[in-house]
Structure 1
Amino acid sequence: MTETVTRGRYAIPVEGEAVRAHWQSEGFSFGRFVDPPGQEWNDFVHATDEYVTVEDGRLEITVGPETFIAEPGDLVFIPRGVSHSLKNISGKVTRWLYGYG
């Protein structure tokens, strides 16, 4: 995968087990975060590639110089070594999936 965002990669409602199976087939781990409104994760850099998919809610995501909104079903690719930040911009809890590969 080379694009930062693949819109609508997964059907809504997002089925976590289907996402897990896809990611594991590509050598990625799988985890889930549940963030309250306004939660921010800022300026992270990992030594591995990362996938992010929103299950429910909306995230503002910055990957390097690019900022965009991730909606349910979108697949975000964060390359290793690139600074990135995520913020729950929903007025409710946002559930999102992540994996490292």
Structure 2
Amino acid sequence: MDTATRDEVLKRWRARGFHGGLWTDPPGRVWRDYVHDEDELLMVLEGELELTLAGTTIVPRIGEEIEIRAGVVHTVRNRGETTARWLYAYGRLG
């Protein structure tokens, strides 16, 4: 996903009341069992992430918007062999 598209996604998310940015993880990085007080949006730009949300594992497609509700235990894993880049933002879903 190019920079203009990335910036457009973040702009749309800001218009919805979310704040966030770009995250970069090396192969094998795992963020285990996180819980946030706010809802989270996540979108993979490059690489291959695996998400486990309340015990259910998914592999989102590049450009697919994922909603993680506040209070949901979740793990994010770069399961690919290359660097993963993804957008994240926190706020309140409707």
Q: Same fold (TM over 0.5)?
A: yes
**SS of alignment partner, residue 76 of structure 2:** strand
Q: How many angstroms does 1:32 deviate by? A: 1.1
Please state how far the C-alpha of 1:17 moved relative to its aligned partner. Answer: 0.5
Check conservation: 1:53, 1:96, Cα contact below 8 A. yes
**Correspondences of 1:25-64 after superposition (within 5 Å):** 25-64=15-54
Q: Which residue of the other structure, out of 3, 6, 27, is the alignment partner of 1:16?
A: 6
- Aligned residue identity for 1:21: K
Deviations 1:38-97 (A, max 9, x none): 000000000000000001011000111211101210111000011000000111000011
Runs of 4+ in structure 1 deviating by more than 2 angstroms, as ranges, are none
| Same amino acid, percent of matched pairs | 37
| Paired amino acid for 2:16 | E
> TM-score by structure 2 length?
0.90
SS in structure 2 of the partner of residue 91 of structure 1: coil
TM-score normalized with structure 1 length: 0.84
Q: 1:70 maps to which residue?
A: 60
In structure 1, how many angstroms separate the alpha carbons of the residues matched to 2:84 and 2:50? 11
For structure 1, the 5+ residue unaligned runs are 1-12
| Corresponding residue pairs, total | 89
Report if aligned partners of 1:57, 1:71 keep a CA contact under 8 Å in 2.
no
